[in-house]
């Protein structure tokens, strides 16, 4: 039984053996880069958080020590987290639709101080 199918005009047509072999290579390549995609996503979230709080670092303001520590913890994420399991925890989101924070990141590192 074929693993992959083309859907042409609503009809599933099985991949040939050569197409399946090529697709297996593509899937394996994609899966092998999972950790890189997760780290990229974490860095994008981190950058957004830092940019949203940059105004606190203006010369006419005094940033609290709690915020200094929080911003430093965001910058230290890549050094302090290096496994896919740690990345999964950093990217975890609330899945309970009945909660007010549904869809929001749940790891404590993203919380405000």
At 24-72, the pLDDT tens digits run 999 999 999 999 999 999 999 999 999 999 999 888 889 999 999 999 9
Integer Cα distance of 49 and 108 in angstroms: 13
Q: Are residues 45 and 86 both part of a single domain?
A: yes
Q: Are residues 26 and 45 both part of a single domain?
A: no
Can you give the pLDDT at residue 58? 87
Q: What are phi and psi of 5, to 5 degrees?
A: -140, 150
Nearest by Cα to 49 from 71, 68, 64? 71
Q: pLDDT, tens digit, for every residue of 43-56?
A: 999 999 999 999 99
Integer Cα distance of 35 and 29 in angstroms: 12
* Residue pointed to by tokens 């006419």: 60
Q: Are residues 52 and 106 both part of a single domain?
A: yes
Q: Are residues 26 and 46 both part of a single domain?
A: no
Q: Are residues 58 and 94 both part of a single domain?
A: yes
Whole domain around residue 55: which residue ranges? 35-110
Q: Are residues 22 and 40 both part of a single domain?
A: no
List the Cα angle 54/36/106 in 5-degree steps.
55
Q: Are residues 50 and 94 both part of a single domain?
A: yes
Q: Are residues 105 and 65 both part of a single domain?
A: yes
pTM as predicted: 0.76
Q: Are residues 18 and 60 both part of a single domain?
A: no
Strand partners, 8: 11
Number of domains present in the structure of the chain: 2
């Amino acid at each position: 039984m074929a693993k992959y199918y083309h859907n042409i005009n609503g009809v599933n047509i099985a991949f040939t053996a050569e197409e399946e072999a090529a697709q297996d290579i593509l899937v394996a390549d994609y899966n092998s880069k999972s950790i890189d995609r997760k780290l990229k996503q974490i860095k994008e979230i981190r950058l957004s958080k830092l940019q949203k709080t940059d105004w606190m670092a203006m010369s006419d303001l005094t940033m609290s020590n709690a915020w200094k520590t929080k911003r430093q913890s965001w910058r230290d994420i890549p050094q302090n987290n290096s496994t896919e399991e740690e990345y999964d925890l950093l990217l975890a989101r609330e899945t309970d639709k009945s909660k007010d924070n549904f869809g929001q990141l749940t790891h404590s590192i993203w919380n405000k101080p």
